[in-house]
């Protein structure tokens, strides 16, 4: 035993811990909405990498009319998080009731519905403690769907980069009830839309495969509804269970 | 010398060539618009992986009201590519003139402006030969920017997955002048918007770092315009040169 102990100690010390790298396609399939964060802050250099990835995304004609406002623990950020927290709690209370989270399978606390409700309640109750909240903004050009082509790819890059560095977040739209106050507080210009609210932090749980509908429902070949027989999923792909899921 | 040669030949044969894997963060920073494709088709299994990644993206409340119509060489697809090709050529001819691609530095054939114009001309002239064209569609819910949060993350996943497998593409909006005809041809329902046209193929050139504005112009801390001094770019980051760039 002693000999083995000595041999083990003669091995070179391991390098300082680095996040294991994530392969691109694996990252795309395993970045899911994360709503429970530890209190760990996101160090500056990781945050820089996350925002760098966000700003490398495409925009219409490469105009780059996107801006990312990062709320951490500054004066305005603290007030903005409070405002958002109130809006999120109101929004969730309404959704919980409207979408019947207490009804049916929601009465079984181990059901997916009840577990989602518990996650959402934790998420909104602790919103102000979220280490970083990003407000991605886009200068309005067309005033419709197509403006989103210049901001949501960046939001996805941001979430993917967070995943790559061991963080998680979620793309939400629950700022909208307080958008006017938020805009004034953060001095966001009139001609820019707030496209989303993205909280980010170190996940309490683990990343894992996302659940979606089978590809056969989502991908068509040649014509709407056309069977894409080639669209075969990796073995073991998990699919969405019934029931509403909030964003 | 002979001895060394023999030793080298006694080493095991290398494994058959596989696409080198791309690390997630590197992929996010090196996926740029690709507009020149070889005539190589995209094999079914690669196309399946690309669409799988697209359909793993987030959507509002995980509703997954997105659909991806894949145009290859079927009857409808061939007609749709022709319709799109005409629309792209008209769109580019207008943009080339309106944005003054022939003027100023555009007269120097080695200028970025002239090279972009040549790429665009090649792109639209050969549109019908593009191996795969994807029409990402979204069921309209709010009728504005926020609907984009349920389709453009998927478009970005699609482009990133293509990059990961050695293909390239570009997110364009040039279907809009022919949207009504395209919708009828492909039997796209009234309540679904065509969010983009994404051509995909094997790049003639190489992927490389994208060029964007410096992060200091795109990322704010605490308040609009607030200096994000921590947002430091990787050394060697290349920035956008002046002049318009079409999508």
Chains A and B: how many Cβ contacts under 8 Å?
A: 306
pLDDT in tens, B116-168: 999 999 999 999 999 999 999 999 998 899 999 999 999 999 999 999 999 99
Question: What local confidence, expressed as pLDDT, does residue B104 receive?
Answer: 87
Question: Could you identify the residue written with the tokens 């490398």?
Answer: A56
Q: What whole-number distance in Å separates Cα of residue A169 and Cα of residue B138?
A: 23
Can you give the pLDDT at residue B206?
76
B233 touches chain A (CB under 8 A): yes
**What is the pLDDT, as a whole number, of residue B46?**
98
- B215 interaction partners in chain A (CB closer than 8 Å): 48, 51-52, 55
Q: Which of B53, B159, B246 sits opposite A25 (nearest CB)?
A: B53
Q: How far apart are CA B117 and CA B123, in angstroms?
A: 10
CA distance B3 to chain A (A): 33
One domain for residues B203 and B217? no
Model confidence at A234, pLDDT cuts 50, 70, 90, reads very high
- Domain check: are B184 and B83 in the same one? yes
Answer yes or no: do B220 and A70 touch at CB < 8 A: yes
Same domain, B140 and B226: no
pLDDT digits (tens, 9 = 90+) for A81-97: 999 999 999 999 999 99
For residue A8, pLDDT beyond 60? no
B201 and B221 assigned to the same domain = no
Residue B7 lies in a domain: no
Q: Helix H segments across A30-137?
A: 44-55, 75-98, 112-125
At residue B15, the pLDDT reads 46
User: Minimal Cα–Cα distance from A12 to chain B, Å?
Assistant: 27
Report the chain A residue with the minimal C-alpha distance to residue B239: A56
What span, in angstroms and rounded, lies between the C-alpha atoms of B214 and A202? 27
Burial class (CB in 10 A: 0-12, 13-18, 19+), A140: middle
pLDDT of residue B207: 67
Comparing B11 with A111, the larger pLDDT belongs to: A111
Domain residues for the domain of A124 are 21-211
* Shortest Cα distance, chain B CAs vs residue A100, angstroms: 14
pLDDT at A183 over 70: yes
Q: Is residue B246 part of a domain?
A: no
If asked whether residues B98 and B174 sit together in one domain, one would say yes
Write down the pLDDT at residue A143.
Answer: 86
| Percentage of residues in chain A having pLDDT higher than 90 | 76
Using the Cβ of A49 and the Cβ atoms of chain B, whether some distance falls under 8 Å is answered with yes
pTM of the model: 0.90
Beta-sheet strands, E only, within chain A: 66-71, 132-139, 168-169, 192-194, 198-201, 219-221
CA nearest A211 in B: which residue? B56
Q: Give me the CATH number covering residue B62.
A: 3.40.109.10
What are the CA-CA distances from residue A98 to residues A93, A101, A246 (Å)? 9, 8, 12
Interchain proximity A29–B56, CB inside 8 Å: yes
- pLDDT level of residue A127 (50, 70, 90 thresholds): very high
Is A154 contained in some domain?
yes
- pLDDT value at B2 more than 90: no
Contact B144 A143 (CB under 8 A): yes
Chain A contact for B126, CB < 8 A? Answer: no
Does A99 score more than 80 pLDDT? Answer: yes
Q: What is the pLDDT of residue A208?
A: 65
One domain for residues B29 and B112:
yes
pLDDT band at B243 (very low <50, low <70, confident <90, very high): very low
Residue A10 above 70 pLDDT? no
- Best A46, A49, A56 residue to mutate vs chain B (most B CBs within 10 Å): A56
Q: Do B50 and B64 have their domain in common?
A: yes
User: ipTM of this complex > 0.85?
Assistant: yes
pLDDT at B18: 52
User: Do B75 and B177 share a structural domain?
Assistant: yes
Residue B11 domain-assigned? no
Distance CA B169, CA B159 (A): 6
Using CA atoms, how far apart are residues B164 and B166, in angstroms rounded to an integer? 6
Question: Rounded to an integer, what distance in angstroms lies between the CA atom of residue A207 and that of residue A211?
Answer: 12
pLDDT band for position B172 (cuts 50, 70, 90)? very high
Is-contact A226 A220, C-beta < 8 A?
yes
| B6 is a domain residue | no
> What single DSSP character describes residue A241?
P
**b/e for A17-53, b at 16 or more Cβ within 10 A?**
eeeeebbbbebbbbbbbbbebeeeebeeebbbbbbbb
User: How many alpha carbons lie under 13 Å from residue B26 in its C-beta half-sphere?
Assistant: 12
pLDDT surpasses 50 at B235? yes
CA distance A203 to chain B (A): 17
Interface check for A196 against chain B (CB to CB < 8 A): the answer is: yes
What secondary structure does DSSP assign to B97-115, as a single string? HHTTTTSGGGGSTTSHHHH
Q: What is the DSSP letter of A139?
A: E
Let me know: does A159 contact A135? Beta carbons within 8 Å.
Answer: no
Q: What is the pLDDT of residue A14?
A: 43
Q: Give me the pLDDT at residue B190, please.
A: 95
**What's the pLDDT tens digit per position in B103-129?**
888 888 888 889 999 999 999 999 999
Query: What digits encode the pLDDT tens for the residues B82-107?
Result: 999 999 999 999 999 998 898 888 88
Mean pLDDT of B220-237: 96
Is A1 within a domain? no
> Given pLDDT bands bounded at 50, 70 and 90, which one contains residue B240?
confident
Check whether B7 has a pLDDT greater than 70: no
Any A CB within 8 A of B220 CB: yes
CA distances to A24, A207, B22, B121, B209 from A163, in Å: 11, 8, 15, 38, 21
Residues of B in contact with A98 (CB under 8 A): none
CB contact under 8 A, A77 and B143: no
For residues B191 and B93, what is the distance between their CA atoms, to the nearest angstrom? Answer: 31
Give the DSSP letter string of chain B.
-HHHHHHHHHSPPPPPP-PPP-BHHHHHHS------B-S----HHHHHHHHHHHHTS--GGG---EEEEEESSSHHHHHHHHHHHHHHHHHHHHHHHHTTTTSGGGGSTTSHHHHHHHHHHHHHHTGGG-SEEEEEEEE-SSSSGGGGGGTHHHHHHHHHHHHHTT-EE--B-TTGGGHHHHHHHHT--TTEEE--BEEEE-BSS------B--HHHHEEESSTT-B-TT-PPPTT--BPPSS----
Question: What's the mean pLDDT when you consider all of chain A?
Answer: 90
Does residue A232 lie in a domain region?
A: no
- Picking from A166, A223, A243, A245 by the largest number of B CB atoms within 10 A of its own CB, the best residue to mutate is A223
In a domain, B231, yes or no: yes
Nearest to B74 among A57, A222, A232 (CB): A222
Chain A residues whose beta carbon lies within 8 Å of the beta carbon of residue B22: 23-24
Please count the structural domains in chain A. 1
Q: Are B216 and B197 in a shared domain?
A: no
């Amino acid at each position: 035993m002693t000999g083995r102990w000595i041999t083990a100690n003669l091995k070179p010390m391991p390098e300082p811990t680095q996040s294991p790298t994530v392969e691109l396609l694996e990252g795309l399939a395993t970045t899911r909405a994360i709503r429970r964060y530890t209190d760990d802050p996101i160090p500056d250099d990781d945050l820089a990498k996350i925002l760098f990835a966000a700003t490398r995304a495409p925009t219409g004609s490469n105009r780059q009319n996107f801006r990312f406002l990062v709320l951490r623990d500054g004066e305005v950020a603290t007030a903005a998080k409070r405002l958002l927290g109130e809006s999120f709690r109101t929004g969730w209370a309404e959704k919980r009731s409207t979408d019947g989270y207490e009804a049916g399978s929601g009465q079984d606390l181990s059901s997916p519905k009840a577990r989602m409700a518990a996650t959402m309640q934790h998420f909104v109750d602790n919103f102000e403690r979220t280490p970083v909240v990003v407000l991605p903004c886009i200068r309005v050009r067309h005033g419709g769907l197509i403006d989103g082509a210049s901001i949501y790819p960046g939001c996805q890059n941001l979430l993917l980069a967070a995943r790559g560095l061991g963080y998680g977040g979620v793309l939400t739209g629950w700022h909208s009830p307080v958008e006017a106050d938020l805009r004034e507080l953060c001095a966001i210009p009139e001609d820019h839309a707030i496209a989303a609210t993205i909280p980010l932090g170190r996940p309490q749980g683990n990343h894992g495969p996302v659940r979606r509908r089978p590809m056969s429902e989502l991908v068509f070949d040649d014509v709407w509804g056309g069977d894409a027989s080639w669209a075969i999923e990796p073995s073991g792909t998990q699919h969405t269970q019934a029931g509403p899921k909030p964003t």
